[in-house]
Copies of this chain bind each other. A is one copy, B any other.
């Protein structure tokens, strides 16, 4: 799988988006990250592994604790991909307008 797919897949789960939201307020220990969830800690570990594989977090072991911090840079590619279609979601384009817009783009 390509990297962009990994990133988009990683952020497609609400718990993982919540984790990113939490980490955007600063690094946190594993248990702090896990605290809002009512799942087992194992599940959180797995979510963190998915985020790590996508390059979206960093883990740093400090004693027996693990500090987790956000690495948002991979989100840039996601933002860029989505941004390609920004012009489409503002107006409702009928087929003729769309065709005209595309012809214009080709000149």
Contacts and interface: CB of A to CB of B under 8 A. Distances in A.
Interface residues of A, number: 38
A43 interface: no
A2 B78 CA distance: 19
Interface string A70-107: 10111110110111111011000001001100100000
Nearest to A7: B12
A86 B79 contact: yes
Contact of A76 (B8, B9, B89, B98): B89
Copies held by the complex: 2
A2 B26 contact: no
Nearest to A82: B79
A75 B89 CA distance: 8
A87 to B, nearest CB: 8
Contact of A13 (B5, B21, B74): B5
12 contacts: A4-B14, A9-B12, A12-B12, A21-B84, A26-B95, A26-B102, A27-B95, A75-B86, A75-B89, A78-B82, A79-B82, A82-B82
